Chains A and B, each alone.
Chain A
Amino acid sequence: MATQSESDDFLSEGSSSAQEAEEPEIEARVGWRYTLSQVKRDATAMAGLFVVGLMTLMATFSFVDAELFAFLAQFETFASVGVEKYWFAKHFWVSPIAEPQGSIQLLPPVGMENQFGAGTWAHPLGTDDRGRDILVRLVYGSRIAIEVGYISTAIGLVGGVLVGAIAGYYGGWTDDVLMRAAETLYAIPFLVLVLAFMAAFGRSLMFAMIGVGVASIPTFARLIRSRVVSVREEDYVEAAEAAGVRDRNIILRHVIPNSFAPVLVQGTLQVGYSILIVAGLSFLGFGVQPPTPSWGQMLSTSKDYMLQNVWFSIWPGLAILITVVGFNVFGDGLRDALDPRLKN
């Protein structure tokens, strides 16, 4: 009997979805909307997307409050109405950089206790070695991580796609020269390459980003080249050639868009990887300088206070972990959504 009702359920479900399929609205099986609808069916990918979205939002907010307001404060019109760096944090929260008078150092989170005292709601995640609120520093530290992840990935993606597409489309000696150069870069360990880059140009965050970006060019170049080699043989590329379309437009409009899906996936994964690398650099003392908050540097400072307040280490570590995992599962979900063989 139970089987009967189950099969009834199954049937009714089947027929209702069949009715949905008969809706006059034709659902395109290409394009952003379709890919997104595929991602939506995947719970882990959605969780990844949520993390990605949240982190991006947080980073945008702290970018506006830190960088944009600091920039605007240079102008009299804005400075006269009180715009300053960390304006929002100072007025509605606590400053992420100032060392507050009389605040207790190394406080644990709410509900915990250690030799310095009990956690309070004033500092939900506790305080660091200088008595600064950990939560606000985490939020403002997201800016560095996300900025670095996006910008360095953008550098690697644009550079890699151009190099790989040109190499794959023209073939011959162009291919040999470009890909051998890329593989030479590939042969050097990632971190060593970035450190060498920073040693040569400077220890600032900008060169960390550029270094990570340049170091990831070969990954993208190799990835897209393998697709371009097959796409360039497609009839529509030949048709475009026969219609007198310039090589540049053929590569940009016909070859790259049709080879882009794996690059998009790799790009998403690469953001997570770049965040990890730059956090590692910050830990080693390269990159953003104190007092500007960044996760890697928080982690680095906290290692000396682990016995007093272990939460000081756990929070930035967790932030890095969640962000990187978020980008990774989103990338995996995107790969599944873009792979036609996995569709059912």
Chain B
Amino acid sequence: MSEPLLEVEDLRTQFFTEDGVVRAVDGISFTVNEGEIVGLVGESGAGKSVAASSIMRLVEQPGEIVGGEIRFKGETIFGLEDVERDGDGPPEKVPRDDMLSNAEVRERIRGREIAIIFQDPMESLNPVFTVGGQLREFIEINRDLPENEARDLAVHMLREVGIPEAEERYDDYPHQFSGGMRQRVLIAMALACEPSLIIADEPTTALDVTVEGQILDLVDDLQGKYDTSFIWVTHDMGVVAEICDRVNVMYLGEIVEQADVDSLFHDTQHPYTKALLNSIPRPDQSVGELNPIAGVMPEAINPPSGCRFHTRCPEAREVCTRTHPGCREVGDGDGPHRAACLKHEGVFNAGYVESESIENKTTGGFDVGLTEEGEADD
């Protein structure tokens, strides 16, 4: 197999807040191959967007990438090495020599090699400049084209993403575009610089389902045409099924399951993924009632001990509160399928089978916190 386009290894991004260190991304590893759409799925707060901006080195204060490695086309976007200091202190982590400088990342990577499409199409265009002008600016910066050629390309890209009368709409301001059209413009911006990888950070979340469908079709078409790889960040399993080749499911800063899209849906190996799938309506199964995941995700400042999902997991046992599972190969089918769950006794061998099942009081629904206290009084 050829070298993957993007390799993320053990990436850790933390936010140093007054309340403590928020471990937003806590050791995730995944790869993106050429021409592939990779999903990054999880609830709000799972660390998906932070992971996405870490890849571009766009994490802002008080956040910081504290560990791991990001390699893109053989270049190191982020990498640390240990340097022994005099004295007894622990080794200090410093950027490796081959890590690209800030200026190099800005000039060579951002926009040119990796583009990002943001969540909110309403806010991602500058309201005081015309749509065409902004598109042209991005093309000029990243393709080194003179103004008139950049303009022609901008009009061409607007047409490509299905803006009617692109020539006339070029001089319109963002507020004269609908949400779906602005999202198309943002896609045009991302594609215009012909990057190898586009990170789409929940690009269809703000749109209604009809427009979402159109945009997904458009991305599918253009992806085939330009052979661009995508990292598709979303919380919507429906979108994942529609568009992704492989999926990473994130929970509280960690990847809990990693598989190609078919085996993820039909051969689910992690209780969290199962719970996510159960909480959305599925056209292929009829259910009487949807089964949402109980409770809310714990704070990333103080993640639960052991398996982080054990507080909400219907299959949690006593051992899960003690042992933290890494993400390991569990599949028996073809293709890699990794999951981080102790119930795969054959792989983890942590004593899950003998362990006592813990009663999660959270199975009731959303009023968890209240009932818990009431029961404690009894």
A pairs with B? yes
**Interface residue ranges, A against B (CB under 8 Å):** 26, 28-31, 171-172, 234-236, 238-246, 253-254, 257-258
**Cβ-based interface call for B123 (8 A):** yes
**Cβ-based interface call for B58 (8 A):** yes
14 more A-B contacts (CB under 8 A) besides A235-B120, A258-B127? A28-B173, A30-B127, A30-B173, A31-B173, A235-B124, A238-B58, A239-B118, A242-B58, A242-B116, A243-B111, A244-B141, A244-B142, A253-B129, A253-B137
**Cβ-based interface call for B110 (8 A):** yes
**Cβ-based interface call for B138 (8 A):** yes
Complex interface: chain A residues within 8 A of B138 (CB): 243, 245
**Cβ-based interface call for B107 (8 A):** yes
Distance of A29 Cα from B175 Cα, bound (Å)? 9
Given A30-B173, A244-B109: A235 in contact with B142 (beta carbons within 8 A): no
Against A, the Cβ 8 Å flags (1 = close, 0 = not) of B184-217 are 0010010001000000000000000000000000
Complex interface: chain A residues within 8 A of B116 (CB): 239, 242
B110 in contact with A258 (CB, 8 Å) = no
B175 in contact with A244 (CB, 8 Å) = no
The one of A26, A234, A244, A254 in contact with B110, judged by C-beta atoms closer than 8 angstroms, is A244
**Cβ-based interface call for B125 (8 A):** yes
A244 in contact with B106 (CB, 8 Å) = yes
Complex interface: chain A residues within 8 A of B175 (CB): 29-30
In the assembled complex, the CB of A187 is this many whole angstroms from the nearest CB of chain B, namely 29
In the assembled complex, the CB of A169 is this many whole angstroms from the nearest CB of chain B, namely 12
A243 in contact with B110 (CB, 8 Å) = yes
Q: Which residue of A lies closest to B121 (CB)?
A: A235
Complex interface: chain A residues within 8 A of B142 (CB): 243-244
Given A242-B111, A243-B110: A236 in contact with B141 (beta carbons within 8 A): no
B110 in contact with A236 (CB, 8 Å) = no
Q: How many residues of B contact A (CB 8 A)?
A: 31
Distance of A29 Cα from B189 Cα, bound (Å)? 25
**Cβ-based interface call for B115 (8 A):** yes
In the assembled complex, the CB of B130 is this many whole angstroms from the nearest CB of chain A, namely 10
Complex interface: chain B residues within 8 A of A253 (CB): 126, 129, 137
Q: Which residue of A lies closest to B112 (CB)?
A: A244
Distance of A129 Cα from B58 Cα, bound (Å)? 71
Q: List 14 A-B contacts (CB under 8 A).
A: A28-B176, A30-B128, A236-B123, A236-B124, A239-B118, A239-B124, A239-B125, A243-B115, A243-B138, A243-B193, A244-B111, A244-B112, A253-B126, A258-B127
A245 in contact with B141 (CB, 8 Å) = yes
Distance of A246 Cα from B349 Cα, bound (Å)? 52
Complex interface: chain A residues within 8 A of B125 (CB): 236, 239
Complex interface: chain B residues within 8 A of A239 (CB): 116, 118, 124-125, 186, 189
The one of A26, A30, A242 in contact with B115, judged by C-beta atoms closer than 8 angstroms, is A242
**Cβ-based interface call for B264 (8 A):** no
Complex interface: chain B residues within 8 A of A236 (CB): 123-127
Q: Which residue of B lies closest to A255 (CB)?
A: B126
Q: Which residue of B lies closest to A245 (CB)?
A: B141
Chain B 88-115 residues near chain A, CB threshold 8 A: 106-107, 109-112, 115
Distance of A171 Cα from B111 Cα, bound (Å)? 25
Distance of A29 Cα from B173 Cα, bound (Å)? 10
**Cβ-based interface call for B56 (8 A):** yes
In the assembled complex, the CB of B44 is this many whole angstroms from the nearest CB of chain A, namely 17
The one of B107, B119, B120, B173 in contact with A244, judged by C-beta atoms closer than 8 angstroms, is B107
What 5 A-B pairs are tightest by C-beta distance, nearest first?
A: A244-B110, A243-B111, A235-B123, A244-B111, A235-B124
Distance of A298 Cα from B270 Cα, bound (Å)? 88
Complex interface: chain B residues within 8 A of A257 (CB): 126, 128-129
Q: Which of A29, A241, A244, A246 has the most CB of B within 10 A?
A: A244
Q: Which residue of A lies closest to B174 (CB)?
A: A236
Complex interface: chain A residues within 8 A of B173 (CB): 28, 30-31
Complex interface: chain A residues within 8 A of B129 (CB): 253, 257
Against A, the Cβ 8 Å flags (1 = close, 0 = not) of B125-161 are 1111100000001100110000000000000000000
Distance of A239 Cα from B124 Cα, bound (Å)? 6
Q: Which residue of A lies closest to B138 (CB)?
A: A243
Q: Which residue of B lies closest to A171 (CB)?
A: B61
Distance of A175 Cα from B314 Cα, bound (Å)? 51
A258 in contact with B126 (CB, 8 Å) = yes
Complex interface: chain A residues within 8 A of B120 (CB): 235
Q: Which residue of A lies closest to B113 (CB)?
A: A244
In the assembled complex, the CB of A28 is this many whole angstroms from the nearest CB of chain B, namely 7
Complex interface: chain B residues within 8 A of A240 (CB): 126
Q: Which residue of B lies closest to A29 (CB)?
A: B175
Q: Which residue of B lies closest to A242 (CB)?
A: B116
B128 in contact with A258 (CB, 8 Å) = yes
Complex interface: chain A residues within 8 A of B106 (CB): 244, 246
